[in-house]
Amino acid sequence: MSPHDLRLARLTSLMTAVLVMPVSSLACGPDFPNRLLLDRHNTLLYMPEGNFAFETHRLLAVDPQLPLWKAPPPETAPKPMPQSPQERMIGQMRASKTIEEANAVDTQGLPEAARLYTLGAVAFAAEDPRATEYFQQVLDLPAAEQGDWRLRALYSLGRIEMDDRGTPENTYGSTAPAVQHPEKAQLDKAITTFQQVIDQVKSGAADPDQLALSSLGQQARIHLWQGEIAQAARLYAQQAAQGDSDGSLSLQYVSSYLINPEHLNALKQAIHDPLVQQLVTIELFARSSNLQMSDGTGESAKQSIERILTLLNESVESGFAGSDRLAALAYRSGQYPMAASLLKNAGDSGLAWWLRAKMALRDGNVEVATAAYAKAAAAFPTDEDWGQQRDDDYVPEVIMPDCRIAGEQAILALNRGDYLQAMELMYRGKDNYWADIADIAERVLTIDELKSFVDKHAPAVPLQPAKPGEYNYQQRQRSQLRELLARRMMRAGRYQEAVNYFDLPDSRQAAQEFIAQLKAAQDKAGSKEVRAKAYYQAAVLLREQGLEFTGYEMTPDYAIYGAGYSYLGDAFDTRDLQHKSWISAAEAARAAKSLPAVDDRFLHYRWQAVALAKKAADLLPAKSQAYAAVLCNAASWVIARDAKTGRALYQRYIKNGTQYDWSSRFGYDCPAPEF
């Protein structure tokens, strides 16, 4: 029987809810790179939000007697598969509108349990009360004949007993009339039926449809109807622990309900349960930025968080399992004394040490913070992922605590002048922090320091073509770093070394051609015409492909976005910072020295191309077409951004050159030079 035929047996246990989520307007353009170095003070003191789904999946331990959730395979183009005779029979029965139509289908060869269950499913869909009889008949068959249909029949009986027809219920914020649920005795009967499903799976019954996990959710749903929030939360938490995302989504509904100011009494009744305490804590720890409050109370999100924090702090006992999360919530809410108090009993979790590091930095104790960061880094698993978050400017960041902590450690390493260690730490952040890696590699390390780092961490290896759907961040990061070093070497005139570090064939070829043209131009044995042409060809290469073989990854060229943007922020510009920059004088001096000595501006290599073109003109007869065309083209490369240089080139042409038909369009419409 295909999974699509089991809609009756496998429905989500999530209590249908309308969760109000804020919609942020997207900024124009792509997502800009996340930057830890742009505002180091805030980076060090800010505590990222957690991830609700990640947190809820570890509220309870996995029950080894229950199955782990298996996600359905990803949808692909379906291949036509011939149906078995039994599948065709069931499909014909399920397409029926009434039991009578379903009974008329020829079911010779179909197991009796399958026939009875399918009749019950048709009756259930038609709201025919005979559905109960058919499901019960499945259970009355000899055990050897029931097969997988037994669990399906039990689960479906539970749905009938709780009157679950798959219809939406009134939800948070809804003005629809409340759904009328069965009496308590009938709901208790449904809980017992779902428990039979769970118990039989724990005893070894096969559960291909994962109905034991759905039964946990259905039981929790009934407890919610009866106002028993703590019991419901525990069942949903077990469902989530087994990997079922329905459990996590349902917990999100429960936690959203509890933090609503209109449900303060419900929160006060449930808050003494340790699991509810953890649930409310992680709701605010992971989703406080999404907090939406009812308009009727007049209470702001900040006021609500402070009130709930007070309730939690008064309710939890020493050693509370969520002390580190609660302390982080208190810290993010500005309740620093509460955070410090909670940290005393928060244990040695990675989050607790991360928070201790930030608290030490707030107190100005860098030495204590450095030690705490080291313990935090050692405590977090390298693959822990809190998902994507966005800051106030809507810049995205995938929070992987291990990588983020390494980035914050890098800031402290920079501040104490340990530049190579800072590079090693930031490099651990994968391509999530490529902009910061580039800033250190390009502006802080010397070329020789960077070369040593690249030789150790990004050695030359053949590029491997990516497989469909595969993203090799390690290969990309290694290649990006080698290209950055090669471009630095080109800017420093270390041409032959640079060629060996270009990973991309196009960049290497352009660099080699530029080097060859420059060599020919500087060869005093060549004729003036040959040298002039070589200077001009080198200038054209620099103008057209300079970004690829000599441009800055960050300030001032921003090759990181193909020079699509002229400014993405300078990590070493402290003029607008209103607090400590964490940039030492030595680091600032290195950063300043690495910028272009002249024409420090966006697309700086264009002005270098102009300088080469002027050298070409120096070697040409002033009255020749080539002289005029070289100056005209050189002006066209910068005139839109630098009218002064454009005018100077025009004045040189007017003073020395010959007038042509195109002279009136000088700098805008230029012919190719005729050498």
pLDDT tens digits for range 311-328? 998 888 877 888 999 999
**H/E element, 82:** none
Quote the DSSP letter at residue 397: E
Please determine, for residue 29, whether its predicted confidence score (pLDDT) is greater than 90. no
Please determine, for residue 413, whether its predicted confidence score (pLDDT) is greater than 80. yes
Per-residue pLDDT at 17: 28
- pLDDT grade for 291, boundaries at 50, 70 and 90: low
Of 42-56, 262-276, 484-498, 566-580, the range with the highest mean pLDDT is: 484-498
Mean pLDDT of 40-56: 93
- pLDDT grade for 175, boundaries at 50, 70 and 90: very low
pLDDT tens, position by position, 100-124 = 999 999 989 999 999 999 999 999 9
Mean pLDDT of 265-294: 84
Mean pLDDT of 155-173: 76
- Stronger pLDDT, 29 or 541, i.e. the higher one: 541
Please state the three-class secondary structure of 41-61 as a single string.
HHHHHCCCCCCHHHHHCCCCC
Mean pLDDT of 304-315: 88
Count Cα atoms within 13 angstroms, Cβ side, for 90: 22
- What is the DSSP track for 604-659? THHHHHHHHHHHHHHTS-TTSHHHHHHHHHHHHHHTTT-HHHHHHHHHHHHHHS--
Quote the DSSP letter at residue 37: S
- Stronger pLDDT, 55 or 430, i.e. the higher one: 55
Global pTM reads 0.84
Residues 6+ apart with CB under 8 A from 340: 359
Q: Rounded to an integer, what is the distance from CA 534 to the centroid of its chain?
A: 48
Residues 6+ apart with CB under 8 A from 630: 532, 536, 613, 616, 617, 620, 673
Question: Where along the chain do its domains lie?
Answer: 227-315, 401-619, 620-675
Please determine, for residue 30, whether its predicted confidence score (pLDDT) is greater than 70. no
- Give the residue carrying structure tokens 């003109």: 617
Neighbours of 508 (CB within 10 A): 19
The chain-wide mean pLDDT, for the chain, equals 88
Please determine, for residue 293, whether its predicted confidence score (pLDDT) is greater than 90. no
Please determine, for residue 15, whether its predicted confidence score (pLDDT) is greater than 60. no
Neighbours of 80 (CB within 10 A): 5
Mean pLDDT of 401-420: 97
- Stronger pLDDT, 385 or 16, i.e. the higher one: 385
Per-residue pLDDT at 82: 78
| Letter string b/e over residues 370-392, b meaning 16 or more CB atoms within 10 A of that residue's CB | bebbebbbebbeeeeebeebeee
C-beta separation of 488 from 442 below 8 A: yes
Residue 390, beta-bridge partner list: 396
Per-residue pLDDT at 8: 35
Residue 216 gets the label, from left (phi > 0), alpha (psi -120 to 50) or beta, of: alpha
pLDDT tens, position by position, 465-474 = 656 555 456 7
CA distance 212 to 234: 15
C-beta separation of 587 from 636 below 8 A: no
Per-residue pLDDT at 439: 97
Please determine, for residue 196, whether its predicted confidence score (pLDDT) is greater than 60. yes
- What is the DSSP track for 19-31? -----PPPPSSSP
C-beta separation of 181 from 225 below 8 A: yes
C-beta separation of 283 from 52 below 8 A: yes
Mean pLDDT of 374-387: 93
Largest CA distance in the chain: 108
Per-residue pLDDT at 398: 87
Per-residue pLDDT at 33: 75
Mean pLDDT of 143-153: 94
pLDDT tens, position by position, 601-649 = 999 999 999 999 999 999 999 999 999 999 999 999 999 999 999 999 9
- Stronger pLDDT, 73 or 362, i.e. the higher one: 362
pLDDT tens, position by position, 534-566 = 999 999 999 999 999 999 999 999 999 999 989
Cβ neighbourhood burial of 72 (10 Å; 0-12, 13-18, 19+): exposed
Per-residue pLDDT at 74: 62
Per-residue pLDDT at 247: 95
